[in-house]
A and B are shown apart, each in its own frame.
Chain A
Amino acid sequence: MAATQTVDVVMPQMGVSVSEGTVTKWLKQVGEKIEADESLLEISTDKVDTEVPSPGTGVVAEILVQEGETVDVGTKLAVIAPEGAEASAPAEAPPEPATQEAAAEVAQAAPAEATPPTREEPAPAPAAQPQPAAATGDGRAFVSPVVARIAAEHGVDPGRVPGTGRGGRVTKQDILQFIEQGGEPTEAPSEPEAVQAPPKAPPEPPAAPAEAPPEPPRPARTAAPAAAEAELTPGEQEEPVTAMRRGIAEHMRRSLDTAAHVTSAIEVDMSRVVAIREKLKPEFQKSYGVNPTYLVFIARAVVETLKDYPWINGELRGDKIVTRNFVNLGFAVELTDGKGLIVPVVKSTEGLNLLGITRAVTDIAERARSKRLTPEDVQGGTFTITNPGGYGTFHGTPVISQPQAAILGTYALVKRPWVVQDDRGQDTLGIRPIMNLTLTYDHRLIDGALAGRFLRDLRERLQTWGEADY
């Protein structure tokens, strides 16, 4: 009730179950004087209509809710200022500064016209997930929590312990006995299961590039800062290397050291894609609330083509070549301020049609933007698409995301003069939207001819597919 500071008038709660009220009449207007406890306005709730007495003496400085408006209990309705004082507008809480590091600015990536502008490569190596002692042995084998714990504590592989429990499982008794009798402890299972399990064998584990939460990658092979402590000369500044940057640096170096990088390129006449997209864009927006970008058309065609080129979706693993009946497609995404990148992965794209891929990409973009990606979202990729062309570049040589075998680069869609056939079959000049696509591949596994055929087939699809094919 002090006349020395501003006082807020709030919507009262007229009854325990009441959650809102309506302002029915202001008895004073802005600028008018009012005494404490004098009626200031009339309100209506679902229980009762009543007047609200002013909580303070002074002048009505602001009226924030108009007659007829309904607001929640506790909402500020007005401000009473001491007479003669300025009504200070309550300071706005400063908008949250957009956080740098992990903010995936996929608004850029979000399909406006162009495909998501991304930079090079997938990101730093992942944190290796600790694997529970995986049950090997017969398919029924189940390891109970206590057995798992004891196994982990002693470095014992439960798969090697004779089990006397139901279905042959290893019981607590069994493993305790085994340990007591000096059963030999072994390493955790060496053959990795799907793409998920990082093998502990020396060659790099990373199942896939991990997310922004920057941890120095396991086997931390951080490049020793070479030019160490040279003094800064005038005009030079320095800033620390972030964990993410360090991770990217490590991965890029390792990737180039591991794979034999070769790039082949092909030019694709995208006029059909443009036409289909023009038609589908409003439909998709209206019916599904998603926007089909060029990227998703290309992604669809890529997934279909990869079915015929398993090695390009595969992996060179030691002495073996691993191929899959699924395509987990990674999309390289630039982070805000170009301070790093993420490669979220859409799993099992072989089962998705255009709408499915559009939705999946939209979702993952949204989650990348709102920092809601999970570790699963950035692991397990089998092939990656990157789009450096958002800035207009027409060619590039991206770095492969280990341990994948290849990466597709998409570039700016440019209207070019193009040799086309007129209706008499004669050559003539036309104007076509042309996009350059590159496939950068690991030549240890993939030869130029294979890469060339892949690109040819990809182009074929993009140039001939109708709406129903997508």
Chain B
Amino acid sequence: MAVREAEPVNSLREIREAGLDREDLLGIYRHMLVTRGIEERGHILYKQGKIPGSFYTGRGNEASAVGVATAMGPRDVGTPLHRDMGVHVTRGVEAWRIFAQYMGRADGPTKGKDGNVHMADSRLGLLAMVSHLPAMLPVAVGCALAFRIREERRVAVAWFGEGAAARGDTHEGMNLAGVRRLPVVFICDNNQWAYSTPTFLGYGIEHVADRAAAYGFEGVVVDGTDVLAVYREAKRAIEKAREGGGPTLIECVTLRMEGHAVHDDAFYVPKQLFEEWAAKDPIERFRNWLRENADLSDEEEDELSAGVKKVLNDAIARADESPLPDPRTVTDGVYASPEELDTPHH
């Protein structure tokens, strides 16, 4: 199976065929705006000393994250990473909780126990990432294994970066998924730089998706700045998995528009690459597409903008009110108690 390169989505009609109507599209656009807004405002907060530790953004990855998340079903699960804030936003995590998480407050999803994007709301079907990438990939495969064992029509989505593709976890996880044709879709966020490591120092093939064939399933390469193209491919793959067709590997290509983290100014990325990809900014792209293909009006735009701004302002204010964690809670929660299990052991 050779790698397939995905086609762009050219019209409203096409996207309707893929299952989205105009309302959905505006929703997608909004999610992307909120995602970027959270990261931009968070960046400012970080430089104001209000966010401890480090700060990571997925600027340039908004289309890939929101596109895939939109294609997931309500009972599907996923293991998004630090460039995938759009997944949390699309799945319904409230912005104020994200800021509370950044600021290490007691009302953040991890109650201050972990920082930056190491968070998730498991009720929304998301599992919190760790720093050792891509350790959550085999975990997502495990979720798919559970679905297969129980014969449930649910799908797991496993994110990983093109850099982390070098680790054994990727290989072992994909191999197991391919051997057992598990309902898992692998999303490779290929933003072309793993910290300062360019792709040609990370792998010796042209596309990470080329590896899918090695595991017995299809690989697809898609323009990661085209949210609708991403959505369409993700939808195909997720539904295929749901029907028992096994895994797919989708490689979304974008450029990491900021440093590895906020302390990194990415001097090693050639300037013209930034310029080239800035012209393909996912949010700008989609905005233009909406104006051209879906009659996005100025009023609608203004309304959206204002709405997003309000959400962010309110979110920051609310997060700021959340207290820092009580030091006495430091030893809480090392172990789980039986009451916390989803269903009782009988």
Contacts and interface: CB of A to CB of B under 8 A. Distances in A.
Nearest to A74: B49
B46 A12 contact: yes
B47 A48 contact: no
A48 B265 contact: yes
Given A15-B54, A16-B53, A16-B54, A53 B48 contact: yes
Contact of A10 (B49, B261, B262): B49
Q: Helix, strand, loop or mixed for chain A's interface?
A: loop
Contacts of B179: none
Interface in B45-104: 46-50, 52-54
Given A15-B54, A16-B53, A47 B264 contact: yes
Interface in B9-60: 44, 46-50, 52-54
B47 A52 contact: yes
Contacts of A18: 263
Chain B contact residues (Cβ within 8 angstroms of A): what range?
10 to 19
Contacts of A9: 48
B81 to A, nearest CB: 18
A37 to B, nearest CB: 6
A14 interface: yes
B259 interface: yes
B262 A55 contact: no
Contacts of B262: 14-15, 48
Contacts of A49: 265
A50 B264 CA distance: 10
Contact of B47 (A16, A47, A50): A50
Contacts of B264: 15, 47-48
A13 interface: yes
Contacts of B263: 14-16, 18, 45, 47-48
For A10, A47, A54, A73, which residue has the most chain B Cβ atoms within 10 angstroms? A47
B48 A55 contact: yes
Main secondary structure, interface of B, reads loop
Interface residues of A, number: 22
Nearest to A47: B263
A51 interface: yes
Interface in A38-81: 45, 47-55, 73-74
B47 A53 contact: yes
Contacts of A302: none
A11 interface: yes
Interface in B249-277: 259, 261-265
A47 B260 CA distance: 12
A469 B13 CA distance: 108
A15 B46 contact: no
Nearest to B54: A16
A10 B44 CA distance: 13
Nearest to B43: A53
Given A15-B264, A73-B49, 5 more contacts: A14-B47, A16-B263, A45-B263, A55-B49, A74-B49
Interface of A: 9-16, 18, 37, 45, 47-55, 73-74
Smallest CB-CB A-B distances: 10 pairs: A15-B263, A47-B263, A10-B49, A12-B49, A55-B48, A14-B263, A48-B265, A16-B54, A53-B44, A12-B47
16 contacts: A9-B48, A12-B48, A13-B52, A15-B54, A15-B263, A16-B263, A37-B44, A47-B263, A47-B264, A47-B265, A48-B263, A48-B264, A52-B48, A53-B48, A55-B49, A55-B50
